[in-house]
Amino acid sequence: ANPTTVRMRVWLASQPEPSSWQFSATDSEAQLQTAGSPGVRAQLPSTADNAPVVFSFDDLVVQ
């Protein structure tokens, strides 16, 4: 679809899921309007001193 919209909600596992989107971005750049492979990435900076950190993704929907 044009434009492409990305939305997300993030919360601690011990907390209830937020009812509204916490982040939303829309972009009509041509490269985003063609077929491809969606992905999700989490990254911990090299300066972090609280490793290991666990990132979990659930209910990912790509439409």
Residue 54 is assigned to a structural domain of this protein: no
Please tell me whether residue 33 adopts helix, strand or coil conformation.
helix
Residue 41 is assigned to a structural domain of this protein: no
- Domain around 27: 4-33
Residue 56 is assigned to a structural domain of this protein: no
pLDDT at 1 over 80: no
Residue 17 is assigned to a structural domain of this protein: yes
pLDDT at 22 over 80: yes
Residue 21 is assigned to a structural domain of this protein: yes
Average pLDDT in the 2-22 region? 91
pLDDT at 33 over 80: yes
pTM over 0.85: no
Distances (CA, A) of 20 to 2, 4, 9, 13, 45: 23, 19, 7, 17, 28
Residue 59 is assigned to a structural domain of this protein: no
Residue 52 is assigned to a structural domain of this protein: no
Task: Domain count for the chain, please give it.
Answer: 1
